[in-house]
Amino acid sequence: MTLTRRTALASPFVLALLPGRRAFAQASDWKPTGTVRIVVPSTPAGTTDIMARLLAAYLQPLWGQSVIVDNKAGAGGIIGTQDVLRAAPDGHTILMGNIGPQAIAYTLVKNVPYRPDDLLPVSNMIFGPNALVVNPDVPAHNVAEFVAYARANPGKLNFGTPGIGQTPHVAGLWFNQLAGVTTQPVHYRGSGPAATDLFSGKIQFIFDALVNALGPTQSGLERMLAVTGAERYPLLPDVPTMKESAPEFADMVMGSWVGVFLRKGTPAPIVARLNADIKSLLEAPDSRDRFLKLGGLPAYGTPTQFAQFVKDETDKYADIIKKAGLQGSAD
């Protein structure tokens, strides 16, 4: 499969992900009385935006009201999150949050103007693992060999990131901590420039989003050693997980995720209705196969389950960032 992120964003593909408009039993009879906004705290065309547009198109016929996507980018997702927190807690403003502003930012960013309990987690939507990829000239064909190579060359290996605090950056930091090695992050303005330097050998490895790594791996521009999910990715059954690759990485399960939040104080029937409709979307027959092509899997959870997941993620990344000495390093 050679689907790229750009291809995945094509409108026919997005529309194809929508399940049939069949009736589902709802946990609540609540419906909005006016236009609903789904706020995306990032620019258009990323996974968070895709998930918001899928959900909007799915909810609109179910709810009988216009459901629009409103991109409010800036400050690593903080501006969009604040926009939702200024709205009334009446179900007409929804946050399509993600791992950045809803987990990593609490430790990485100084003076985040909101706290986790200002938001009500409703459900996760998608979880996408990262892939450890190396330049083909790196003399390692599995994780154990790569760790040995890094230990034999302390401070000489560089890994690319799409920016400070992004998931590939934190993954590289965690790799250093677990393996007891010293490799250096090189920050770029996005994953594309980082991949270009990986192909040319200017950097040696990246923990890239899986959807970005598929094509270059298949074309021989990079070598994939492992994925960071809890299990092997269904489309890549021969690629091991980090946790099964070496004892040091038994706990290394991580990746990007996108989920739905409402403002604190939103009544329970609204939370229940939105959660039930997300469940219907994610359990539709085509959703799993379509999400695989986006580099992830549907990740439904009850509000309680998603709240625990977000807390665990926040705690996990706080520990990594503090050990790396980066607490409060981003504005």
Burial 306-326 (b: 16+ CB within 10 A, else e): bbebbeebbebbbebbeebeb
How many whole angstroms separate alpha carbon 298 and alpha carbon 55? 13
> Which structure tokens are listed for 72?
């409010």
**110 and 13 in a common domain:** yes
Burial 54-91 (b: 16+ CB within 10 A, else e): bbbbbbeebbebebebbbbbebbbbbbbbbbbeeebeb
Q: Name the DSSP class of 109.
A: B
**275 and 213 in a common domain:** no
Cβ proximity of 65 and 34 under 8 Å? yes
The verdict on residue 281 lying in a domain is yes
CATH number at residue 281: 3.40.190.150
The verdict on residue 330 lying in a domain is no
**242 and 264 in a common domain:** no
CATH number at residue 180: 3.40.190.10
**43 and 75 in a common domain:** yes
**122 and 41 in a common domain:** yes
**60 and 22 in a common domain:** yes
**pLDDT at residue number 27:** 59
**241 and 136 in a common domain:** yes
How many whole angstroms separate alpha carbon 151 and alpha carbon 145? 10
Which stretches of the chain drop beneath a pLDDT of 50? 1-26
**pLDDT at residue number 28:** 75
> Which domain, by its residues, includes 114?
5-128+255-323
How many whole angstroms separate alpha carbon 26 and alpha carbon 6? 35
Task: Give the pLDDT confidence of 246-300 residue by residue, as tens digits.
Answer: 999 999 999 999 999 999 999 999 999 999 999 999 999 889 988 998 899 999 9
| Prediction pTM value | 0.89
**272 and 240 in a common domain:** no
CA dihedral 185, 193, 297, 246 (to 10 degrees): -40
Q: Of 233, 249, 265, which one is at a domain's C-terminal end?
A: 249
Sign of the alpha-carbon torsion through 303, 305, 309, 315: positive
Q: Of 192, 227, 249, which one is at a domain's C-terminal end?
A: 249
**pLDDT at residue number 330:** 77
**pLDDT at residue number 328:** 85
Task: Give the pLDDT confidence of 26-55 residue by residue, as tens digits.
Answer: 457 899 999 999 999 999 988 999 999 999
**pLDDT at residue number 290:** 87
Amino acid at 181: V
A 10 A CB-CB count for 97 gives 29
> Which structure tokens are listed for 105?
């930012």
**319 and 263 in a common domain:** yes
The chain-wide mean pLDDT, for the chain, equals 91
- Per DSSP (E only), the strands in the chain are 36-40, 67-71, 93-98, 119-134, 158-161, 184-187, 205-209, 223-227, 255-263, 297-298
Q: Of 232, 249, 266, which one is at a domain's C-terminal end?
A: 249
Cα–Cα distances in angstroms (integers) from residue 53 to residues 70, 71, 263, 298, 311, in the given order: 10, 11, 20, 15, 26
**pLDDT at residue number 16:** 43
**11 and 119 in a common domain:** yes
Contacts of 79 (CB under 8 A, 6+ apart): 41, 72, 73
**pLDDT at residue number 10:** 40
